[in-house]
Structure 1
């Protein structure tokens, strides 16, 4: 195996597959990146227990400027490989596999000789059937992930809640995430889709997937098997295991009747909560309080050790009963950030019942639920 190519282009592909490589794996060969060179181009593969990423760099890609002299494959320790490629002196590099699984990496006057591992011992990637599949632009998929993944649980005590529940039924793609303190649900209407599915994808997998797309407009084909899901673009295959178990019925958690409704601009409200939480973060109880009545809306932050903050809020409109409610400001900030700079409607029932956030624009089917904090 011998190939010469552009260092920056190669480093970009290497960075993508490294998202799937962990130094803590119990399978030593998975600490490496698999490099496979064929007549048509270069394939890089990285994998761990949860995700596998495979990228393809075509010999016809002008940016790669690839010259293939001989084909072959090898596994190279990822940690050192990436650092070596980053620090090479020239814009091009040459990889050459010699005897005893050794790889010579040269660029300008620099020459590295690194030990590789036999690629025959690298685990095979899952075979995913294309029968249950749909296509979405990366932009839509990224938005769906950004609007839900922040609400997954970080606690392994209920593993199913560490994932995003993704279902497709009757042309409605539904994504739900909850950690039992907050919930985020996004619906997208698709057209002429005959397939249906019901899966739970680890939140960490989706975060890495979102970072791996190079072009927002590229199409992503989603294919599903019993315990695996594949996100496929023209140059990348991203595999993730699926979480086993039944996701809770979250639909019944979302209230439909409310006593107080208020509309804010997201950016203004986010800034105010950020200010109020400056002091609450320093206290033992990370709580911000919101007080609403017909002519005054006030937010309070308090830390017995440092002091308190109080601010009158600008709002667009308010209706219903007066209410004072306490909540975790971090949950609220995460929620508001996922909306972007739009107007949002917040609905309350009582100081101890969960409240909802929705876009004022009813064409966007996106709802979030936050459980308030009980205070004496």
Structure 2
């Protein structure tokens, strides 16, 4: 292998695929990235056998094809340094040495493993059809749903995001049993029938792959291999699906309310973040007191207190129905507000201990359910 690539493009590609490299592994080859020429591009691939990331980097000059398995973190750290605008990669399969040259003043030699030692990576063919959404919509969906997934491996099914289709609608949902996010997208044409669970971690990596632009990203499923594949313009993500049945979350979504509040999302978020500073030092609980106005707008009082400190803030709101006092985990409440894309947020309450609905004003494609905290008066 003998070629040249732009260092910035190589460093950016490595910053993406490095996230599939396990931090600890008993299999040495998994700590490596496969670097290979591929139809005029340099293909970078890393895997932990559950998640595989591939990025294609344009080649500026190609003299000889080839492939090598390079120790990923060493390679990433070197190409991330300003060693030159363009980097030459020269691999000798006899000595298994990869030489990196960043202009006339920098030369680095890295001992590699044979490319044939790297696990074969072949994206499965779609058996259940495909879903194509613009990158910006993938980013929005993941932002609204992923944070509600559990990080507790004791309940692995909840560490994933449920993706179900029905007719023209695809529904993304995640819950950790304390909160639930549901996002629906309606397409112009009928969708293949899906009921799968994608690891939330995989969607987090997809969010990074789709962090810029609005190019289409295709998702397809192969149930035989229990894998999902996401394809972008110059990147590909392959993930194992989680096996099991996702909880029936629809049954816990309230269909009525006794108190409805409409308030500025930004103002609520700002005041909740102030209250969290005090709450974080104690129980991480904030209290909301909701009062309808007699002749004008109602009020939301946000309070937190500790042994020696307390915080109180007031936010004007449109309040319909009964007054109410409710307590939330501060971080959960803030993360729910951050997922709201509109200027105003709608909150619907039944009782202080019942699930609360938060949703964007004027939109019915997203909702978040948050369980209140039980606290002494």
TM-score grouping bracket, smaller chain normalisation: over 0.9
Q: Closer, same or farther in 2 for the Cα pair 1:194/1:289, shift >3 Å?
A: closer
CA distance in 2 between partners of 1:174 and 1:20 (Å): 27
Give the secondary-structure state (helix, strand or coil) at the position aligned to 1:36: strand
CA distance in 2 between partners of 1:292 and 1:87 (Å): 54
**Map of 1:104 onto structure 2:** 99
Deviation at 1:125, TM superposition (A): 1.6
- Judge conservation of contact 1:88–1:110 (CA < 8 Å) in 2: no
Structure 1 range deviating more: 128-137 or 156-165: 128-137
Q: Residue deviations 1:193-223, cap 9 Å, x none?
A: 3412111111111111101225431111111
CA distance in 1 between partners of 2:238 and 2:29 (Å): 18
Deviation at 1:152, TM superposition (A): 0.4
CA distance in 2 between partners of 1:184 and 1:329 (Å): 17
**Map of 1:313 onto structure 2:** 315
Deviation at 1:89, TM superposition (A): 2.6
**Map of 2:259 onto structure 1:** 260
Aligned counterpart in structure 1 of residue 305 of structure 2, from 275, 281, 302: 302
Give the secondary-structure state (helix, strand or coil) at the position aligned to 1:117: coil
- Judge conservation of contact 2:341–2:360 (CA < 8 Å) in 1: no
Question: Which structure 2 segments of 5+ residues have no match?
Answer: 294-298
Structure 1 residues 108-123: aligned runs within 5 Å = 108=103, 109-123=105-119
Q: Residue deviations 1:119-166, cap 9 Å, x none?
A: 101111244122421211111111111000000011111110011111
Question: Which structure 1 segments of 5+ residues have no match?
Answer: 60-65
- Judge conservation of contact 1:126–1:228 (CA < 8 Å) in 2: no
Q: Given the two structures, how large is their TM-score scaled by the length of structure 1?
A: 0.94
Give the secondary-structure state (helix, strand or coil) at the position aligned to 1:26: coil
Deviation at 1:40, TM superposition (A): 2.2
**Map of 1:95 onto structure 2:** 89
CA distance in 1 between partners of 2:144 and 2:191 (Å): 25
CA distance in 2 between partners of 1:167 and 1:214 (Å): 24
CA distance in 2 between partners of 1:367 and 1:340 (Å): 11
**Map of 2:27 onto structure 1:** 27
Deviation at 1:241, TM superposition (A): 1.1
Aligned counterpart in structure 1 of residue 175 of structure 2, from 169, 175, 178: 178
Give the secondary-structure state (helix, strand or coil) at the position aligned to 1:124: coil
CA distance in 1 between partners of 2:331 and 2:37 (Å): 47
Q: Closer, same or farther in 2 for the Cα pair 1:77/1:303, shift >3 Å?
A: same
- Judge conservation of contact 1:34–1:73 (CA < 8 Å) in 2: yes
CA distance in 2 between partners of 1:125 and 1:193 (Å): 31
Structure 1 range deviating more: 131-140 or 223-232: 131-140
**Map of 1:375 onto structure 2:** 375
Give the secondary-structure state (helix, strand or coil) at the position aligned to 1:210: helix
Q: Residue deviations 1:232-288, cap 9 Å, x none?
A: 1221111111111000000000011111111111000001111112111111x2211
